[in-house]
Amino acid sequence: MAATKRHEEDLKRNSKRQEAVTNDPIELLRLKCLSRGACGIKGLGRAFRIMDDDGNRKLDYNEFKKGCYDYGLSLEDYEIRNAFKKFDLDENGTIDFDEFLLSLRPPMSKARRNIIMLAFRKLDKDGSGSITTDDLKGVYSARCHPKYMNGEWTEVQVFREFLKSFDSPENPDYIVTQEEFINYYSGVSASIDSDAYFDLMMRNAWKL
């Protein structure tokens, strides 16, 4: 279940409004991502992961800056540098990719994190740590999709379209990792004030 159009618009509008008043570099970067919608943080995470050629899950300042530019975040150089300094806690010139994403995600209660993981585990039927088209069989029904019903799409095409909600629109691989799933729903969560409503929304969407 992707974010509703109303949630997306609320998130974008509120994030842009808060950008103008925050003085915190991490909060500014977070808001810049969320102003792109629920996929914002997930998309930045993917952009950085693609750049991590050696797979050490570390980013130096030039990689961090390039990732922000490549993702299209409208930040001044000094804003990027200030954010990097905040993430580089030990001042060794690199930031840990996993710690960076944890800091960038909007704060979520334990209850929200638990319901997100409950949904992920239901979708990840084989326990591989990622959701694929095979995982969706028997969990997500393609037969009610209009393009399946009129014969335009196959079941796999419907599943791929569904996964694109959580994937990168520019470079979809039709595989959603646990990290991407959490990053996506941290964006959805930021547009919902009530824990109870977030829990109900997730349970209804995934029949938990």
Contact 188, 3 (CB under 8 A): yes
> In terms of pTM, does the model score above 0.75?
no
Residues 164 and 94 in one domain: no
pLDDT interval class at 113 (50, 70, 90): very high
Judged against a pLDDT cut of 60, whether residue 170 lies above it is answered with: no
CATH (domain of 182):
1.10.238.10
Confidence at residue 4, expressed as pLDDT on a 0 to 100 scale: 63
Domain endpoint, select from 88, 104, 120: 104
The residues that bridge with 58 in the sheet, in sequence order, are: 96
Q: Compute the C-alpha angle 14/17/22, nearest 5°.
A: 110
Domain endpoint, select from 54, 86, 104: 104
In terms of average pLDDT, the best of 45-54, 104-113, 155-164 is: 104-113
Q: Counting every residue, how long is the chain?
A: 208
Confidence at residue 1, expressed as pLDDT on a 0 to 100 scale: 52
How large is the average pLDDT for residues 74-89? 87
CB proximity list for 8: less than 8 A, separation 6 or greater: 37, 38, 191
Distance CA 69, CA 121 (A): 34
Choose between 135 and 165: higher pLDDT: 135
